[in-house]
Amino acid sequence: MNAIQNNIKNLSPQYLLDLYNKLRVNSKKRIESIISAIPDLVFLVDSNGKYLDVLATGKEHLLYRPKDEIIGKHITDFFDDETSEKLLSLVKETIKTQTLQCLEYELFLSSKKELYEARVVPAHFEEFDNDTVIVIVRDITHKLERKKEIDISKAEMKYLATHDPLTNLPNRTLIFEHLNHAITTARRIESKGALLFIDIDGFKDINDNYSHHTGDLLLQEFAIRLSQTTRESDVFGRLSGDEFLLILENITSVDDVLNTIEKIKKQLIRPFFINGLSLEITVSIGGAFFPENGDNADKLIHAADQAMYNVKKNGKDGFTFYSKEFSIISNEYFFIQHALKKAIKEDDFTIVYQPQFSLYNDSLTSVEILLRCNSSELKDIPVSRLISIAEESNIIHNISLFVMEKCCRQIEKWKDLAIAPLKIAVNLSRKELCDENLVKVITGNLSACSIKADMLEFEITESTLLQNNRSAKKNISELRKLGCSFSLDDYGTGFSSLSNLREFNLDKIKIDKSFIADLEDDDNDRIIVSATINMVKELGLTVLAEGVETKGQEKLLKEFECDEVQGYLYSHPLSAEKMTELLISEK
């Protein structure tokens, strides 16, 4: 150490000064080299806010003016009063505390908003006094843009979470939120509101006949039209599928609701033109008042749904308000539904056989299969009601499989005894006939029992014809090609036209028993039955009268030249054993 000190003492003052200046210059160069690599602007600013130097211009385009136009100018020459005040305050705080200070500020440059970050540190340069700072400015506009993107993304996510993507209407989540708030408000201020449950009639058939894309386009146009009927305070949303809800707050009378429904109906008078198709639709609407019909969204929607279901049950295309009676009907519906599921699980069904005879020679022509439920819970409920609920609750498929399998197995047994009838008639519900797997199920059972398709006759109802469903037509066509025949059951109770009879290519028409019951006493019934028989025979179809119970009815039907009959006059529905005995006697 002493040796070093002695060496330094031997150095001349000039040499030491030159060395100091050299080190200082090298140090400054290193600092300038580092600063020049920074992708930011670096300014030297005094305590008054005057620019003393521009140390780095790695992003010189951010200056929007030459460097020499900045040096000597003041912060206030480039910024608005508010930003200038903030920057000057930052400079003074840095000088006072000798610590790093930061600030984010916005500027409108080149017709757009940009975001900058200013970091201010003490300068500590020898040629400047201690009242000098370095201001490092960084462009962080990307941060602003990213924030916007995040905000937009959050807004989009919130919108998607509360709106239906197909129609852009409020979805179930937002509807429940609005409805619960509306009910709470109505209770608090003692006002009244209404909820309308709107369901498009026959929408499934539009999907089946034309395509789901067509159905989606219809829903979009439907949403637009009905939105035009609402007040600004109303909330119109899509619950699911073809089900929509309309919340009407602050209504003064029932007339307010009825006026809204009238507007809805007017919007539906014009056809919907979708993909070159002209579609006419109707709606079933159920209404419920709040808060009296439901103290929360769940209960109120359930009440309006029950009212809507009652409209569907009574022919669709209408409106009704909720009443407690609907609750009783709904409870019965779910009771039957549960009992049916239980009966299916426990195999609590049997098959009976209704013989059909020729009026010309009294011979057995065919046998209709009828389903009977052995459940004690369902014994007093008509089979037609059971089938209707089975269709609505989508459990008809399991029942159909049971009937078809039993039917084919029984035919197989009769074939083994060489007493099989010419035809076995099986009822097909609308849903079964539209099922895309129907042909596969039937051919599978026929194959398993080695039965020819021409032994099967399928009975369909007029309501099925009115649906005019493509899937139904396709299934009928394919089954006819296999050899199966088709008859129209309960003719006269619906609204089928001659064009329907021709288009569906039927083989037999069954006149409903309601026209046969008063045939002997009612002139109108005689005229209708006689005309129907003549018309059907002119079309080249077989005609059968249902529910024949008296000799007088039989006599008139013979005079009208009816082909076939069934009813208690000839036979009640028979068990498999009794039917076997009848077939043996007919052999």
pLDDT in tens, 20-32: 455 445 555 665 6
Inter-residue contact 87 to 75 (CB < 8 Å): yes
Give the class (CATH, top level) of 163-322.
alpha beta
* Topology alike, domains 163-322 and 334-485+564-586: no
Domain extents in the chain: 163-322, 334-485+564-586
Give the pLDDT score at 174: 92
Segment holding 138, helix H or strand E:
strand 132-139
Residues of the chain predicted below pLDDT 70:
1-39, 56-64, 109-111, 125-130, 151-153, 325-331, 393, 463, 465-469, 493-503
Q: What tens digit of pLDDT does each residue of 274-329 get? A: 988 899 999 999 999 998 888 899 999 999 998 898 888 877 888 888 877 655 55
**334-485+564-586 has which CATH code?**
3.20.20.450
- Residue 520's SS3 state is coil
Other C-beta atoms within 10 Å of 445: how many? 20
291 prior amide bond cis, ω within 30: yes
Q: How distant, in Å, are the alpha carbons of 81, 108, 145 from that of 111? A: 20, 6, 15
The overall longest dimension of the chain from CA atoms, in Å, is 152
Closest to 383 (Cα-Cα) out of 414, 443, 343: 343
Alpha-carbon distance of 423 to 368, in angstroms, equals 8
- Which residue carries 């109303």 as its tokens? 234
Alpha-carbon distance of 291 to 545, in angstroms, equals 53
Inter-residue contact 260 to 252 (CB < 8 Å): no
Give the pLDDT score at 498: 60
Give the pLDDT score at 37: 59
Q: What tens digit of pLDDT does each residue of 244-253 get? A: 999 999 988 8
